[in-house]
Structure 1
Amino acid sequence: MSLNIDKFAKHLSDLSGYRRQALISREVFEKHVLSSSKTAASYIWMYYVNQDTKAETVTGDAFIQCSEKILGVITDKDQIKFYLKLFSNDKEMMSQTAFMDFLCSAYVLYRAVNKLGIGEEDSDASSPAAVSWMESVSKSAYHIKTEMSVCFLTNWILTNIPRLLNPMHKYIVVQLTTGHNVLKSGNKSSPVSQNGAKSDASSGVDDKVERDPTASLIHPVLMWFLRSSLPGKFLSVLEKKPEALRNATTTPQQLMEMLHLGEAAHPETWSLLYDSEDQGLSINRFQHHVFNYRGPTLMFVKADNDYLFCIATDIEWRESCHFWGGEESLLLMVKPEFRIVEKGAKIFYANFSIRGYPFGIQVGKDPRNLSIEIKPEFTYVSYKQIPCKIIRLLAWGCAPPQVKVSQHDLRKWEAKQAEKNRKVNLNNPEWKENPDKYLLELAGSYKSYDNQ
């Protein structure tokens, strides 16, 4: 990859007008390396010029050296620590303002690498709704403080949203390793921005968000956090990979180009199983629409006092007097703070008919100290024994669409069986010897004409 960066540095020097001095101007850097996010560009530029606030150029050698360091950041933990340090201006402590810039930049570049952005600074990231979702993460990480150590923030992100930086790092790596090809071809715009703009121009709207049926119910920023936090079992249906990526002979250069050109097949979406606004806030309706779905599900519980919880079950819902759930089960608090409350096996409980055991839905490892409890009336949700009135419940299925089809077919079969069992063939010879016939005659509800 070093040869590609060398070529890119020379192209940038030519565009800057400093070919002999081998210098790259800040304007050219921001335009051709990080055009999708001005905020990210300003922080990363400071990294390239070693925190020199007055620097307007960087040498080609320094550009190559810093770029190679970025390419050497591999693991999730290393990526998180590297970019936190970068956005804290190489300090051990990071302000909450810088952390919000960090989140905003990561989100904009996530949209850019997935061809969801608009080519320049994404206005969606600065909308009040987007800022509100990011503040829930910031509030959880900082508590009531205004500064936190990079070490603490690294561990907090690894615990709660471990894949947050993957798209951002992918974007920057792609820009550094394939940018020279774009400049060589004579196209002045950045590769990722070009693809994002093309997608928008063809439809006039943000295609992926508008076509995703979950978009009107799950805000794009929340969807990004969920992608960064949930185990792979909940995301597999959203992340189809092209056949080319499975080819062992694909070169690193081809891999990088495929990733930024977005050659993956269009992903599927989660299946909406239940929405209390449409089906009603009822345990019977919830059971009807969610039970017998043979796959992982996400259940969102919106309550007053700005509470929003996500109950992620990695197996199908079931009624039992015992706790159930696999190792990838978890409970997320989404608002007012975004964090994982519980995770692991056997943290879910659902009982609506088995007498002698508590009725309702419970979440928690310790039955004596539950994190979430919902009574069968579906009126209140208790978080740490504090009751909050339920406003809305939603449930999504996270398996392929055919699983929901199978659930629908099963419900139709059960309805037919129930109807079939209601009908009794009174002409059947076995009916004459049936005890029910004798009981009906004693009660006067049925008169036999067999002997007449």
Structure 2
Amino acid sequence: MGNHHTHHDGKEKSNPESHGGGALSRSSVFGSTKFNSASLIKLFQKLELTADEKNRHPGELSRATFENAFHGPLHKFGKLLYTQMVRQTTSSERERITKEQFTKAGKELLKLYDEPSQLQYYFKLFASGKDHLTKEDALQMIIVSYTLTLSASMIPYSKGSTDDELFEGVVQGMFGINERMTFDDFITWSKKNSPHLFCGVHNWVYQILTGSKMPSELETVKVPQLERFVEDKYVMSMGMLWMLTTVIPQSYTHNQAEEKKEKTSEKNPLLNSYHLIMRLAQLTRCQSWTLLYDSREHGLSHNRFHHHISAYHGPTITLISFEGRNIYCLALDKPWREGASRFGGEDAMLIQISPIFRVMQSNGPLTTWNEYSRDLRKGIYLGKEGRSLVLFIPADFDSVEHYGVNCALHKMEMWGCGASHIHEEQVKQKQWEKKETNKNATRKLNVDLGKWEENPDKQILQWGGINVEHQYSRDSGF
């Protein structure tokens, strides 16, 4: 929601598009004070209608009435939000809030135009007014933020079998050996590891306050395109998808066709809250992610990996699961390419997801995919030049070296994050390659073995998934 995107090596670049940034005027996006007041009064009246018979104070809401409007996983947030709104308008802890206090507190919430102000507000909310978070506070913050993001994105609440461990790993990454986290510590952590943690939270609150909607009205709309993420079939889970969207740049979640539509709509001074929410809620954009490679389905081998991911010319998310409950995510903003040099642009990131969630390296080339050079071991290298090599996957795909320690490789999967036409182009390229493979598979290859690496037939057969690699001695190094 801010107008700057923070790069994780301490650099910032101006980005008016980023998370609902500054290209839109506050007056056109957030509406007039009169509109906000009317919406807040209407919501207050709807809440007042749910009060039980014991509510003998017209024009006021009891704490119980307010909190009971929040069901299931949202109930804790209702408790925290009531306390925060009362705290904004009075110095004492009151069991009732008046219509005037409710409207005033709601207006203050709607003035949180940028992420820094939102971070401060929601930190205080989840800390229950303290100057620090406990680990229990932080875990509640993560779970509620996840829940509200799903609700704001019109996705039914669910958690995969590994999501509880994931959220606990996020908290562990936040606190380390400490038992408390101050606001300054939280800002430092979030800037690097989760700068958009409260994006979905504020989207949800904004929809409730300006749309005069009860919380239950945002909880049940299905998005079937995303159901595959919650079936525990893949390394990717819904919780992991959400956590990634709080840190990865928009190049992985933003559809270019949608971007053109949004630029057109920005010219409309009557831009409404629905357009704003759809622009800010990143998770909805992830419907376009396409499964390119799944080792469980396609086989854990270099040839199958190459076959399924080659010719995809868009950003990708690769998940690597290995011994020790380790899961790493490689976010690449550039297409994969073979060679002895590193690749990846300023939006490239290497993230440890489990057992601790943290951004390891980012901003620049950090991947090498060597298939042919005899000067390097064949395989995939992950790590920036001048820093420790984090992961190395040998060409046999039978293990992974984690900071030089050999571990069993369990699973790999890659998701294409580009627009749908990028995958369509890959499919067409694969169809052409298959035809060429069928034409050439039966040809007698009368070639000089010394020039086999340069022969086009070798590449064509590899496209078709046929192993034609000669065994060369592997040189160590990198």
TM-score category (smaller protein): 0.7 to 0.9
- Aligned counterparts, 1:47-58, within 5 A: 47-50=84-87, 55-58=94-97
| 1:138 to partner: Cα distance | 0.5
Which residue is 1:363 aligned to?
A: 382
Q: Is the 8 Å Cα contact of residues 381 and 392 (structure 2) preserved in structure 1? A: yes
- The one of 77, 98, 113 equivalent to 1:40 is 77
Letter in 2 for 1:81: Q
| 1:135 to partner: Cα distance | 0.6
Q: Is the 8 Å Cα contact of residues 298 and 310 (structure 1) preserved in structure 2? A: yes
| 1:58 to partner: Cα distance | 1.4
Letter in 2 for 1:28: T
Deviations 1:89-138 (A, max 9, x none): 22221100011111111111112112223xxxx5x35x763321211111
Which residue is 2:322 aligned to?
A: 303
Deviations 1:312-371 (A, max 9, x none): 111111111111111111111010011111111211111011122332211112256212
1:155 aligns with 2:188: yes
- Indicate the RMSD between aligned Cα atoms, in angstroms: 3.3
- How many residue pairs get matched? 400
Which residue is 2:402 aligned to?
A: 383
1:93 aligns with 2:132: yes
Deviations 1:130-156 (A, max 9, x none): 321211111111112221112211221
Return closer, same or farther for 1:100/1:149 CA change in 2, 3 Å cut-off: same
Which residue is 1:177 aligned to?
A: 210
Return closer, same or farther for 1:207/1:56 CA change in 2, 3 Å cut-off: farther
State the SS of the aligned residue for 1:154: helix
- The one of 104, 126, 137 equivalent to 1:65 is 104
| 1:379 to partner: Cα distance | 2.1
Deviations 1:279-325 (A, max 9, x none): 22111111111122111111111001000001111111111111111
Q: Is the 8 Å Cα contact of residues 281 and 392 (structure 1) preserved in structure 2? A: yes
Partners of 1:114 and 1:238 in 2: how far apart?
A: 19
Q: Is the 8 Å Cα contact of residues 226 and 287 (structure 2) preserved in structure 1? A: no
Partners of 1:236 and 1:284 in 2: how far apart?
A: 31
Deviations 1:202-253 (A, max 9, x none): xxxx745436698732211111111222111111249957968826335365
State the SS of the aligned residue for 1:312: strand
- Aligned counterparts, 1:110-189, within 5 A: 110-117=149-156, 122=157, 124=158, 129-179=162-212
Q: Is the 8 Å Cα contact of residues 255 and 285 (structure 2) preserved in structure 1? A: no
Partners of 2:230 and 2:424 in 1: how far apart?
A: 17
State the SS of the aligned residue for 2:288: coil
Q: Is the 8 Å Cα contact of residues 137 and 338 (structure 1) preserved in structure 2? A: yes
Return closer, same or farther for 1:275/1:59 CA change in 2, 3 Å cut-off: same
1:25 aligns with 2:62: yes
Return closer, same or farther for 1:410/1:169 CA change in 2, 3 Å cut-off: same
Return closer, same or farther for 1:256/1:172 CA change in 2, 3 Å cut-off: farther
- Aligned counterparts, 1:22-421, within 5 A: 22-32=59-69, 37-50=74-87, 55-117=94-156, 122=157, 124=158, 129-179=162-212, 190=214, 193-197=216-220, 199=221, 207-210=224-227, 216-217=233-234, 218-237=236-255, 240=258, 246=265, 248-249=267-268, 251=270, 254-255=273-274, 268-366=287-385, 369-418=388-437, 420=439
Partners of 1:11 and 1:285 in 2: how far apart?
A: 57
Pick the structure with greater CA Rg: 1
Partners of 1:128 and 1:365 in 2: how far apart?
A: 33
- For structure 1, the residue ranges without an aligned partner over 5 or more in a row are 183-189, 201-205, 425-452
Q: Is the 8 Å Cα contact of residues 123 and 183 (structure 2) preserved in structure 1? A: yes
| 1:32 to partner: Cα distance | 4.5
Identity of matched residues, %:
22
Letter in 2 for 1:229: V
The farther-off stretch of 39-48 and 215-224 is 215-224
- For structure 2, the residue ranges without an aligned partner over 5 or more in a row are 1-35, 445-478
State the SS of the aligned residue for 2:409: strand
Deviations 1:418-448 (A, max 9, x none): 5545648xxxxxxxxxxxxxxxxxxxxxxxx
State the SS of the aligned residue for 1:396: strand
Q: Is the 8 Å Cα contact of residues 212 and 269 (structure 1) preserved in structure 2? A: no
Return closer, same or farther for 1:94/1:360 CA change in 2, 3 Å cut-off: same
Letter in 1 for 2:367: F
Letter in 1 for 2:385: D
| 1:157 to partner: Cα distance | 1.7
| 1:272 to partner: Cα distance | 1.2
Partners of 2:342 and 2:371 in 1: how far apart?
A: 14
Q: Is the 8 Å Cα contact of residues 207 and 273 (structure 2) preserved in structure 1? A: no
State the SS of the aligned residue for 1:229: coil
| 1:402 to partner: Cα distance | 3.2
Return closer, same or farther for 1:342/1:214 CA change in 2, 3 Å cut-off: farther
Partners of 1:266 and 1:165 in 2: how far apart?
A: 17
Q: With structure 2 as the length reference, what TM-score do the two structures score?
A: 0.74
State the SS of the aligned residue for 1:37: helix
